[in-house]
Structure 1
Amino acid sequence: MKGSRKKPPAYPRGIVEGFYGVFYTHPERLDLIRFMGRHGFNLYVYAPKNDRQQRALWWEPYPRQIMVQFIETVREARKAGVRFCYAISPGGSICYSDPQDFSRLISKLHDLFRAGVRDFSLMLDDNEPGFRHPIDARRYGTLCEAQASLANRLYAWLRSLDPACTLSLVPAEYYGQAPFSRALIGLAARLHPDIDLCYTGPEICSSEITVEDARAFARAAGRKPLIWDNYPANDLSMQPELHLGPVTGREAALVSETRGYLVNPMSLAEASKVPLLTFAAYLTNPWGYDPAAAWQAALREVAGDGDYYSLRILAENAHRQGQRLDRLARNAEKALREGKLSQPGITTCDTP
């Protein structure tokens, strides 16, 4: 597809509210956005899976009081130097070939545009495979053609409103390693080059994301990935866990091989600030990043001098327990792959 990549105003360093379960309250979100502005983050993606009007009832307009909150959030984000991105997840029910469904989609997003939003994301992940409507199969033939068509039409419409509008996309295949599927390659080949594609690394929750992981995705997708990092998310089966450790396993050169970096936090906004501060340290200086030093600094900033040692003990215990559970889960998954277990293993992550 013809077109050239616009130079972004700054490397996107963001937080994506993209977990399942109870999402943030309006005050929590505003506080987190102000926190982001103080620590070098510049993009907030609103994508909570359990917001019905974001996913299950994607076509339904928000009530007036919620739209007022969006307006306030966009305003506060601008004050903090943070772009606010609204994500919508219509993939579970949309008819790709139905003009009425497309009209409902753009009508919904137009409300957010009028609220001041200029960054958008189309999320087509975590749905049953295949078409929902027989007419789509006749019209497009493959799902990747239908999804690329929807994204390209949506992007053209957004640019007609304001050339500054951006669009990213979470594909159905948002994690993995080479060789990537024909579906992902076909989607990317048809997609406008300005549309970012999200990638969580080799796994849904990746313990490591390497330069080669990013390069392999880029070769398949024809563009560098927008990383969606699912640490420290703790949704679904991980709800009892506290992910309070520092980010590790991200190569220093990874930033140069990506279009941006998004972090999916826990449903606990205040607790998430500990690992988020270590991400801030990593993204600011990946070559000089010291996980232990960044972690201690994060604990001290979040707790203050008075409660530092108490939080440190809690965080150390939670981190050790998380490491044990992670090893157990990976051993179970390995045994399943090798045919040594007949029962399902432990699932450690189910996001985005």
Structure 2
Amino acid sequence: MAQARKNAITVAVAISPGLTVEYSDASDVQAIMVRFKQLHSIGVREFGLFLDDIPARLQSEKDGAKFNSIMQAHSFYCNAVWAELKKLDSENSLAICPLQYHGKATEEYITEFGKALDPELSLIWTGREICSEYLDVFDAKVFKANTNHTPLYWDNYPVNDVAMLHELHVGPIEGREKGLEDHSLGYFANPMDRFELSLISLSTIGDYLWDTHGYNPQNSWEYSLTLLADNHGDRAAIRNLFRACFESCLRVNPAPDFSAMLEAASFSWKTGKPAQAAQLIEAHASQMLRDVATIKSPQFSKPHWREESMKWLTKYEAVGIALLEIARIVGSCGVSKNSNLSGSKADLDQITSIRASLNSDPTRLFGNGLDMTLAELGDEIRWSLKA
């Protein structure tokens, strides 16, 4: 606790009441308070009570007899715990994560629950979705109007659990509106379990929170890399890898540099210049493999980044090798009279094999652009074989 205070960090601890709680039972309030009192004795003053991911219906007969709805039971229980916390210490605070913690804030649960909740309690909200593409002032105002509480935002970024396990969330925070701080109680960021890599996105979140009006996602992201990786060559290599890993709930371009290269290469072969397309693809692939060599080197200055991103680095290397073969195929293609590429059955089979191999690894890099481009390339060669 002393170290936290020294570094301007407030330690907050949240507890879930569990699956067997009886909301009407005073002893279950005291059971939570036993732990809260222990935490209070070591200096904790910020507490949380998390009702998320528990049954959405009343479990006990006593609760069923006392309450008309799960919302009524939850608000009764939270208010009872809060009354005990206030008696313990007037400096205590309590944040509640509701059973329904995302949506439009027009749903029955959150509106009834919020209005019944003591106004001194903070109410956690993740936005429209569990992992929200955007957080804006309009939705914050709707939340306040319908729940009588200003939202306390829990932003599920850069976390990459559950359905997002194959994504590496190392891009900057985006889609959070300017001035949101005027319509929210605060903002929490939920990191990945890759703690070193989480610092990249968390650094950009810090910039956003410091100045929401002046925040520039790309400038902040570049600065975070400079801040966290001193070696210029190492930083350049890992930057290229990370810029292929922007796919997330934020729905930004998943691989800006790679997408630009694919677009240029596709334009070249569609305008009768397959050799030029091949050069673009080969140059990008060669740089990717140089990046891999740098990152895998024993001298690489960010070994924790390498370890935490190894799954994505492995696929990045596989894509680099595959692209060299794609460059060879495109460069060997002719151009038909209708400006389509013309190639051999062996070329088509090789493209099909590359697609299957890359798609067999669920690790997400480059978004869907590469697979779509390879499909299009295969179609052009297939059409030429039928002509």
For residue 113 of structure 1, report the CA deviation from its aligned partner.
Answer: 1.0
Q: Deviations over 1:269-322 (max 9, x none)?
A: 111000000001111111111000000001111222343212212211111588
**Root-mean-square deviation over aligned CA pairs:** 2.2
42, 50, 54: which one aligns with 1:115: 42
- Which residue of structure 1 lines up, in the alignment, with residue 209 of structure 2? 283
- Which residue of structure 2 lines up, in the alignment, with residue 233 of structure 1? 159
| TM-score, with structure 1 as normaliser | 0.69
Query: One-letter code of the match for 1:269?
Result: F
Matching of residues 1-352 of structure 1 within 5 Å: 74-178=1-105, 180-306=106-232, 307-320=234-247
Checking the alignment, whether the CA contact within 8 Å between 1:206 and 1:230 is kept in structure 2 is yes
Structure 1 residue ranges, 4+ long, deviating more than 3 angstroms after superposition: 320-327
Q: Which has the higher helix share?
A: 2
Question: Using the alignment, how far apart are the partners of 2:159 and 2:248 within structure 1?
Answer: 15
Question: Using the alignment, how far apart are the partners of 1:295 and 1:214 within structure 2?
Answer: 26
Checking the alignment, whether the CA contact within 8 Å between 1:148 and 1:191 is kept in structure 2 is yes
Equivalent residues, number: 255
Question: Using the alignment, how far apart are the partners of 2:93 and 2:250 within structure 1?
Answer: 38
Question: Using the alignment, how far apart are the partners of 2:175 and 2:15 within structure 1?
Answer: 30
Checking the alignment, whether the CA contact within 8 Å between 2:132 and 2:250 is kept in structure 1 is no
Structure 1: 5+ residue stretches without partners: 1-73, 328-347
Question: Using the alignment, how far apart are the partners of 2:183 and 2:250 within structure 1?
Answer: 28
Checking the alignment, whether the CA contact within 8 Å between 2:134 and 2:250 is kept in structure 1 is no
Query: One-letter code of the match for 1:125?
Result: D
Question: Using the alignment, how far apart are the partners of 1:224 and 1:325 within structure 2?
Answer: 28
Question: Using the alignment, how far apart are the partners of 1:320 and 1:214 within structure 2?
Answer: 26
Bigger RCO (CA 8 Å, 6+ sep): 1
Residues 206 and 323 of structure 1: is their aligned pair in 2 closer, same or farther, counting only changes over 3 Å? Answer: closer
| TM-score, with structure 2 as normaliser | 0.63
Question: Using the alignment, how far apart are the partners of 2:186 and 2:118 within structure 1?
Answer: 17
For residue 77 of structure 1, report the CA deviation from its aligned partner.
Answer: 1.2
Question: Using the alignment, how far apart are the partners of 2:86 and 2:67 within structure 1?
Answer: 24
Q: Deviations over 1:82-128 (max 9, x none)?
A: 11110011142211112222221111111111121110011101122
Checking the alignment, whether the CA contact within 8 Å between 1:122 and 1:170 is kept in structure 2 is yes
Q: Percentage identity across aligned positions?
A: 34
Q: Deviations over 1:203-258 (max 9, x none)?
A: 11111111111111111111210011111111122223210000001110211111
Structure 2: 5+ residue stretches without partners: 255-363, 365-387
Question: Using the alignment, how far apart are the partners of 2:250 and 2:216 within structure 1?
Answer: 19
Residues 114 and 323 of structure 1: is their aligned pair in 2 closer, same or farther, counting only changes over 3 Å? Answer: closer
Q: Deviations over 1:58-84 (max 9, x none)?
A: xxxxxxxxxxxxxxxx23211111111
Q: Which is further off, 270-279 or 311-320?
A: 311-320
Residues 206 and 106 of structure 1: is their aligned pair in 2 closer, same or farther, counting only changes over 3 Å? Answer: same
Q: Which is further off, 260-269 or 309-318?
A: 309-318
Question: Using the alignment, how far apart are the partners of 2:250 and 2:84 within structure 1?
Answer: 46
Residues 104 and 238 of structure 1: is their aligned pair in 2 closer, same or farther, counting only changes over 3 Å? Answer: same
